[in-house]
Chain A
Amino acid sequence: MTDSPTPATAAGAPNPLRDPRDRRLPLIAGPSSMVMFGVTGDLARKKLLPAIYDLTHRGLLPPSFGLVGYGRRDWSDDDFADYVEKSVSEHSRTGFEESVFEQLRGGLRFVTGTFDDTAAFERLTEVVSELDRTRGTGGNHAFYLSIPPDAFPQVCGQLANSGLNTPQDGSWRRVVIEKPFGHDLASARELNDVVEKVFRPEDVFRIDHYLGKETVQNIMALRFSNQLFEPIWNANYVDHVQITMAEDIGIGSRAGYYDGIGTARDVIQNHLLQLLALTAMEEPVTFRASDLRAEKEKVLAAVELPEDLALHTARGQYVGGWQGGEEVRPYLEEDGIPADSTTETFAAMRLDIATRRWAGVPFYLRAGKRLGRRVTEIAVVFKRAPFLPFHSTDTADLGQNAIVIRVQPDEGVTMRFGSKVPGTQMEVRDVTMDFAYGMNFTEESPEAYERLILDMLLGDPPLFPRQKEVELSWKILDPITEFWAENLDPAPYRPGSWGPDTAHDMLARDGRTWRRP
């Protein structure tokens, strides 16, 4: 066997066993633990705990990994373990296996306390350092705040008081927060001040689970790894872009959060504007987090609102009726919704991007609940060919070419173009060509939360939005929501339809129609 030079191994030096060329080697998170606030909530039960289990199952968490639950319940560690086991066995993606859970169980702890209980945070400090001692978590701890934003100040304050926010010699402390990042620019700044007073900006991980989805990351692969698309990805060829995020369900049990917030703040501010940024941004210099962010921030900063918001935005609220064989209640009669609520359950808007690439190409965004079907997609619709050497009757069925990126469900890409109909006559009709993720790649796409939790533990930030992006998005949205509050009540729409007439009128004014996804 040959000798190789001894690599440097001081603390923090790269691990020589992790050769970047060794693409086979699984990227396992380093020694660490996670403290979870709001561990009994829906999100933790259905998504976060199963994601942690699935990561363990895939062998991507270190053997020493610790998970500390913090909550009001008077639970022992074993009670907590039973709760986690139940959640995992019901919701895990990779299937429950006793022996995998046993590995996780050794690192499960529970601390009983409320957010104002200083003594409980002292116990939390002890538990965390016990994990460092007995499990070898190395002082690396992440705090997952799966709690309402109004509890942030208290929790952050307690973490600062107990010193849990301060890393020691070479270790790290990170905090994870979930959307909503405020409900407008001012509140977003306020929230951020609270968190960044206690944690360094680079240690704050904002989770937008949309960015963890394979298809969203594929937008960048599609655009920047191919020669085929980028040359036509501009105002010379693109007529307009439609970004749709439709849900067929109502607000369910989210009344408390949803009313007063509405669709625009709930999903357009984060998900749809992120999709817009990824679709419209210039090519980043590298895929490092900072370069990627620079491009997204540039394009968000270049977004312009229509001059007359009344003509180029639409707002709706679903009424009751039969949807898909099921009788559904109107929004105003959902549990916990005041009968005079003016919160929108459908929002649509035209945005323009003032850059050379996109001048004159409108981006139409729409999102809503109780729409025709559950679908999220980006449709890039091209201009018509400037000249058609056919009889006009030959091309009567020919629409505009389109590239549709289907984000969910049925992830994939569709291209629409004209083709000759078989037969003696020259007749051209639209056909589609389909790439389906499920057909070509793994059925085993990891859940977005798995990807994001692992990235956070690895300290790999490209998929997490920064405060600047959050603020830029609010700057786009705030004028619209303010205008709506004063001048535009939501228009009623039938459940199971594609939104109110005002939304269709809005596109008709521009001589266009919404695509039926």
Chain B
Amino acid sequence: MITTLTDTTASAVDKTMTEMRETFGENTIGRVLTLIIISTEDIEEPLEAAIAASHEHPARVIVVDADPDAETSGLDAEIRVGRDAGAGEIVILQARGDVLWSLDTLVMALLLPDAPIVTWWPENAPSSPVHDVLGSMSQRRITDSAACADPLGTLKRLRRGYASGDSDFAWARLTRWRGLVASAYEVPPVSTPTAIEVAGTEGDPSVLLMATWLEHTLGVTASIVPPPEADPDFAGVHAVRLVREDGTIELSRVSDDSIIMRLPGDDQGQHVTMPRRTLAELVTEELRRLDPDEVYGEVLGAAFSGIDDPATFASGKPAPQDVVVADADAVAATAASAAAEQLAEALESRPQAHLVLTGGTVGTLTAAALPAALRAAGVDMTRLHLWWGDERFVDPDSSERNEVGVRKSLLDVLREQDGLPARNVHIMPSPADGMSLEDAAAWYGQQLDQMGGDEPFRTRGQAFFDVLLLGMGPDGHIASLFPQHPGQENVLASAVAVTGSPKPPSERISLTWPVLNSSRHVALLVAGAEKAEAVRDAHAAVDPWAVPASAVRGLESTIWVLDEAAAGRPAG
């Protein structure tokens, strides 16, 4: 039984489902979890796997199919119950346009009461599932690094963004392998192997996880060796060899169905049936236990190093250049025209350009200079996106808001005269939006991730923003990352809530180190003698904790645009 709804709402979908159940005698009781699938190009394959898994774990399956670039905004839905949904029920949500900005409210009405939520990304894993808008609601977050474009890179990002409750199919694919290796270890006479070899394609996440698991658990070096020459692209683990004093125990895959286990002195080997796991089996296994897989977390943590020092994000990039001009107005003019040039250049090779605005006296002056500069550079403003580096969490029309400072001079002008679409202006939320400070910060981070920031924020050598404008305080702070303030320590989220800010108002939202360091060009705009000392400090070593302004660098360029007072030297 399939019902299609066009231009509908979540509550209408919910109501229709209830009606369909009543009509067809489908029982609502007995669903044990809600499984959210983030749509990919081919949704039928994951859906089939979910239906198969529903025989063991009756679930409500919600497929979220998002099209942010759609011309119009709205929601279409398809509901499948009964024969078309296995032992579960399926809702496919096609969300268009602005509906996506509140993706969580879309599924909220459709979640099963009290039951656990599992979110599954069959492809395109987010870097930090727990920070995803839907992932943050879920007890369990399932990714499949092997199905992503850069499997190892994805796994590495997942490591950096790992939170308890994450898991990846690259690990689930190993389960039967690991069981077999664990029992091979027990073949008498038991002894710790002196060496371990894992054969498989380099770059296959399962191979890496297998080697790391053995090395981490047994304390013996596990080396990864290539698969047989005949099949250089062999998927998954090809063989595991435990080298012991009494000889080598080898387990190797001989076909898609079988493994041969060779004990020391036995050339013939024992046949073990171990078919490659299907997607349905993987989903079923993941749903079996909804508590965090601590062992996976440990193995993932051992597979890649973490980033403890935020200075890392700024390292390895071109050194900053100084541009000294006469006064604050000159700083603004210089910065505005440089930014406009850079944005124009960005739009030559990319469909969109992203500019991050800042507050403060110089920031506001720069914003006012931007419309003219953008026009002069020939920037197509229908393709421009505006973001903020930080914002005060106060009344939306308060003069303390960075956004209010540029509303008239920049936003209204670009919207009314230059065709800047309203949806391209990404204003940070205020208390009037009905969110707590933490939720507001998380929401803004999710918008950034959704717009495409997710991967570049967490991948070295990539940038999401084209131009990042930053002011700097006399204490050396940038955005709302203050020196010696714990608010700057979170490097997992894209945007954070800052409380107890040393400079009032105390509640703010700020972008984080990895995000601020994900711009092609960075311009720090500073005017006034009271900032001269901080400018000097920020030109010394990169030290995010003591001098935040020292720790933001652009992938291609970083310029300090200084007036004479701040530079402590004449222009020129």
B264 CB to nearest A CB, Å = 9
Contact yes or no, A441 B180, CB < 8 A: no
Q: Looking at the complex, which one of B30, B55, B192 makes contact with A443 (CB distance below 8 Å)?
A: B55
Q: Which residues of A contact B182 (CB under 8 A)?
A: 15, 17-18, 25, 28
Q: Which residues of B contact A17 (CB under 8 A)?
A: 178, 181-182, 185, 214, 217-218
Contact yes or no, A19 B303, CB < 8 A: no
Contact yes or no, A19 B295, CB < 8 A: yes
Complex-state Cα separation, A318 to B259, whole angstroms: 55
Q: Which residues of B contact A28 (CB under 8 A)?
A: 179-180, 182-183
A339 CB to nearest B CB, Å = 51
Q: Mark A1-35, 1 if CB is under 8 A from B, else 0.
A: 11111110111010111110111111011110000
Q: Which residues of B contact A18 (CB under 8 A)?
A: 182
Q: Does A495 contact B (CB under 8 A)?
A: no
Contact yes or no, A436 B30, CB < 8 A: yes
Q: Mark B199-221, 1 if CB is under 8 A from A, else 0.
A: 00000000000011011111110
Q: Does A103 contact B (CB under 8 A)?
A: yes
Across the interface, name the chain B residue whose C-beta is closest to A4. Answer: B219
B116 CB to nearest A CB, Å = 13
Question: What interface size band does chain B fall in?
Answer: 35 or more
Q: Which residues of A contact B58 (CB under 8 A)?
A: 439-440
Q: Does A393 contact B (CB under 8 A)?
A: no
Q: Mark B140-164, 1 if CB is under 8 A from A, else 0.
A: 0000000000000000000000000
Across the interface, name the chain B residue whose C-beta is closest to A134. Answer: B266
Across the interface, name the chain A residue whose C-beta is closest to B29. Answer: A439
Q: Does B270 contact A (CB under 8 A)?
A: yes
Q: Mark B249-269, 1 if CB is under 8 A from A, else 0.
A: 000000001110101001000
Which listed segment binds A: B271-279, B369-377, B381-389, B532-540? B271-279
Q: Does B176 contact A (CB under 8 A)?
A: yes
B486 CB to nearest A CB, Å = 27
Contact yes or no, A21 B295, CB < 8 A: yes
B interface SS class: mixed
Q: Looking at the complex, which one of A13, A16, A138 makes contact with B187 (CB distance below 8 Å)?
A: A138
Q: Does A321 contact B (CB under 8 A)?
A: no
Across the interface, name the chain B residue whose C-beta is closest to A442. Answer: B56
Q: Does A429 contact B (CB under 8 A)?
A: no
Complex-state Cα separation, A29 to B183, whole angstroms: 8
Question: What interface size band does chain A fall in?
Answer: 35 or more
Contact yes or no, A24 B187, CB < 8 A: no
Contact yes or no, A15 B185, CB < 8 A: yes
Which listed segment binds B: A54-62, A306-314, A328-336? A54-62
Given contact pairs A11-B189, A11-B190, A25-B175, A103 touches B271 in the complex (Cβ within 8 A): yes
Q: Which residues of B contact A446 (CB under 8 A)?
A: none
Q: Does A193 contact B (CB under 8 A)?
A: no
B569 CB to nearest A CB, Å = 49
Complex-state Cα separation, A22 to B181, whole angstroms: 14
Across the interface, name the chain B residue whose C-beta is closest to A13. Answer: B190
Instruction: Enumerate B23-63 residues with CB–CB distance to A below 8 Å.
Output: 27, 29-30, 32, 55-58
Q: Does A304 contact B (CB under 8 A)?
A: no
- Identify the interface centre among A63, A99, A103, A442: most chain B CB within 10 Å of its CB: A63
Q: Does A434 contact B (CB under 8 A)?
A: yes
Complex-state Cα separation, A139 to B58, whole angstroms: 44
Instruction: Enumerate A71-124 residues with CB–CB distance to B below 8 Å.
Output: 97, 99-100, 102-103, 106
Q: Which residues of B contact A139 (CB under 8 A)?
A: 188
A interface SS class: loop
Contact yes or no, A4 B188, CB < 8 A: no
Q: Mark A131-165, 1 if CB is under 8 A from B, else 0.
A: 00011101100000000000000000000000000
Q: Which residues of A contact B190 (CB under 8 A)?
A: 9-11, 13, 15
Q: Does B11 contact A (CB under 8 A)?
A: no
Q: Does B530 contact A (CB under 8 A)?
A: no
Q: Looking at the complex, which one of A1, A11, A15, A444 makes contact with B303 (CB distance below 8 Å)?
A: A1
Q: Does B293 contact A (CB under 8 A)?
A: yes
Across the interface, name the chain B residue whose C-beta is closest to A101. Answer: B273
Q: Which residues of B contact A31 (CB under 8 A)?
A: 183, 186-188
A456 CB to nearest B CB, Å = 17
Q: Does B294 contact A (CB under 8 A)?
A: yes
Contact yes or no, A59 B179, CB < 8 A: yes
B172 CB to nearest A CB, Å = 7
Q: Does A64 contact B (CB under 8 A)?
A: yes
Contact yes or no, A103 B273, CB < 8 A: yes
Q: Looking at the complex, which one of B178, B212, B274, B303 makes contact with A25 (CB distance below 8 Å)?
A: B178
Q: Which residues of A contact B295 (CB under 8 A)?
A: 19, 21-22, 24-25
Q: Does B191 contact A (CB under 8 A)?
A: yes
Q: Which residues of A contact B104 (CB under 8 A)?
A: none
Q: Which residues of B contact A134 (CB under 8 A)?
A: 266
B328 CB to nearest A CB, Å = 51
Q: Looking at the complex, which one of A7, A13, A26, A63 makes contact with B219 (CB distance below 8 Å)?
A: A7
Given contact pairs A11-B190, A19-B295, A136-B188, A99 touches B258 in the complex (Cβ within 8 A): yes
Complex-state Cα separation, A36 to B172, whole angstroms: 36
Q: Which residues of A contact B175 (CB under 8 A)?
A: 24-26
A100 CB to nearest B CB, Å = 4
Complex-state Cα separation, A446 to B156, whole angstroms: 38
Across the interface, name the chain A residue whose C-beta is closest to B181. Answer: A17
Contact yes or no, B263 A136, CB < 8 A: yes
Contact yes or no, A9 B263, CB < 8 A: no
Complex-state Cα separation, A3 to B217, whole angstroms: 9
Q: Which residues of A contact B189 (CB under 8 A)?
A: 11
Q: Which residues of A contact B507 (CB under 8 A)?
A: none
Across the interface, name the chain A residue whose C-beta is closest to B296. Answer: A24
Across the interface, name the chain B residue whose C-beta is closest to A28. Answer: B183
Q: Looking at the complex, which one of A10, A22, A59, A444 makes contact with B180 (CB distance below 8 Å)?
A: A59
Q: Mark A356-371, 1 if CB is under 8 A from B, else 0.
A: 0000000000000000
A-B pairs with lowest CB-CB distance, top 8: A439-B30, A26-B179, A17-B182, A6-B219, A442-B56, A138-B188, A9-B192, A22-B295
A-B CB contact pairs (8 Å), 13 listed: A1-B211, A2-B216, A5-B219, A17-B214, A21-B295, A22-B293, A23-B291, A24-B172, A25-B178, A31-B187, A64-B187, A136-B263, A138-B187
List A residues at the B interface (Cβ < 8 Å).
1-7, 9-11, 13, 15-19, 21-26, 28-31, 56-57, 59, 62-64, 97, 99-100, 102-103, 106, 134-136, 138-139, 170-171, 434-436, 439-444
- Since A97-B273, A106-B271 are in contact, a sample of 19 more A-B pairs with Cβ atoms closer than 8 Å, ordered by chain A residue number, is A1-B302, A2-B302, A15-B186, A16-B218, A17-B181, A17-B182, A17-B214, A21-B295, A24-B172, A24-B293, A31-B183, A59-B272, A64-B263, A99-B273, A102-B273, A136-B188, A435-B30, A439-B58, A443-B55
